[in-house]
């Protein structure tokens, strides 16, 4: 998979100089499609009814563009390049539709009963991005797709646990309610950002889950060709590094958001190089 640098659609593995020039336009088209839909679902102060109406119109424009019709003026800058990418690469429309389904869900759903329900959301909000990028590279075997899903779901979950201090004041809670109940943590305690040992044990449990998913998907780096494989190594290691930082702050992400900085680059590069070894060697290193 290749990746484009994103400033706020966090789950898009982003196109840097490692992305082959022949694919950059198509990767960018997919990115702008996802980012614009994300904005419709989540930015500004429009009521839910307006957001859903806009997303329905956006979905209609996707159907029209895929059929070769001229897009409506409102999103022409999105759908003209996307239609070209669909035509050149036969992009699966079902995956683009899945992304819109997740954005529509974001408008109306702010709680998740259990891990199964949360993974269902990830299967539409994150996994389609990985599958679309693999499609561009002609990597379509079932084992690679499953590994891609594991990586993308892990990235989505890591982003959730990283952003707890941002999401909870907005009444958004992606921590599974069943996990919270198992750790004796009331929902209002989380929404009120009241930290406690029980809250930190809860966050530790879900970060361990995310790490396990990432490690399940990590062998995909050996199946993705050329420079994109190295990009994917950095994507994987970036996600794992965030988990390291969450652990280093004793899982206090309800209070503050850990971030990767320029100082992490040498460690990420070194870890990416080590991924040439068997997957059993992919253990955390002391920073």
State yes or no: pLDDT of 9 exceeds 90. no
Instruction: State pLDDT tens for residues 20-62.
Output: 788 889 999 999 999 999 999 988 889 999 999 999 999 999 9
Can you read off the two tokens belonging to residue 131?
Answer: 């599958």
Tell me which fold the domain 110-287 belongs to.
Answer: Farnesyl Diphosphate Synthase (1.10.600)
Instruction: State pLDDT tens for residues 179-218.
Output: 999 999 999 999 999 999 999 999 999 999 999 999 999 9
Q: What are phi and psi of 15, to 5 degrees?
A: -75, 110
Q: Please say whether the beta carbons of 42 and 106 come within 8 A.
A: yes
Coil, strand or helix: which one is 15? strand
State residue 18's pLDDT score.
64
Within 197-275, where are the H helices? Answer: 197-217, 226-248, 265-274
Residue ranges of domains in the chain: 1-108, 110-287
- Among 58, 6, 65, CA closest to 31: 6
Q: What is the pTM of this model?
A: 0.89
- Can you say whether the dihedral through the CA atoms of 113, 117, 118, 121 is positive or negative? negative
State yes or no: pLDDT of 67 exceeds 70. yes
Instruction: State pLDDT tens for residues 76-129.
Output: 999 999 999 999 999 999 999 999 999 999 999 999 999 999 999 999 999 999
Contacts of 188 (CB under 8 A, 6+ apart): none
């Amino acid at each position: 998979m290749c990746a484009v640098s994103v400033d706020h659609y966090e789950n898009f593995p982003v196109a840097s100089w490692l992305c082959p020039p022949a694919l950059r336009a198509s990767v960018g088209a997919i990115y702008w499609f996802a980012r614009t839909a994300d904005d419709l679902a989540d930015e500004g102060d429009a009521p839910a009814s307006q957001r859903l109406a806009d997303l329905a119109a956006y979905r209609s424009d996707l159907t029209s563009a895929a059929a070769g019709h001229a897009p409506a003026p409102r999103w022409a800058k999105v759908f003209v390049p996307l239609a070209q990418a669909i035509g050149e690469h036969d992009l699966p429309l079902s995956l683009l539709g899945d992304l819109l389904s997740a954005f529509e869900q974001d408008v109306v759903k702010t709680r998740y009963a259990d891990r199964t329900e949360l993974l269902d959301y990830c299967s539409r909000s994150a996994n389609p991005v990985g599958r679309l990028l693999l499609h561009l590279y002609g990597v379509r075997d079932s084992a690679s797709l499953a590994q891609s899903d594991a990586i993308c779901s892990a990235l989505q979950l890591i982003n959730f646990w990283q952003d707890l201090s941002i999401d909870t004041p907005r009444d958004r809670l992606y921590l599974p309610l069943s996990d919270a109940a198992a750790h004796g943590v009331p929902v209002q305690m989380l929404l009120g950002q009241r930290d406690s040992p029980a809250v930190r044990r809860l966050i530790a449990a879900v970060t361990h889950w995310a790490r396990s998913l990432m490690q399940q998907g990590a062998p995909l780096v050996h199946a993705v060709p050329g420079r994109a494989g190295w990009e994917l190594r950095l994507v994987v290691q970036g996600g794992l590094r965030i988990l390291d930082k969450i652990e280093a702050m004793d899982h206090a992400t309800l209070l503050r958001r850990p971030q990767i900085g320029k100082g992490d680059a040498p460690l990420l590069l070194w870890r990416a190089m080590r991924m040439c070894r068997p997957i059993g060697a992919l253990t955390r290193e002391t920073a």
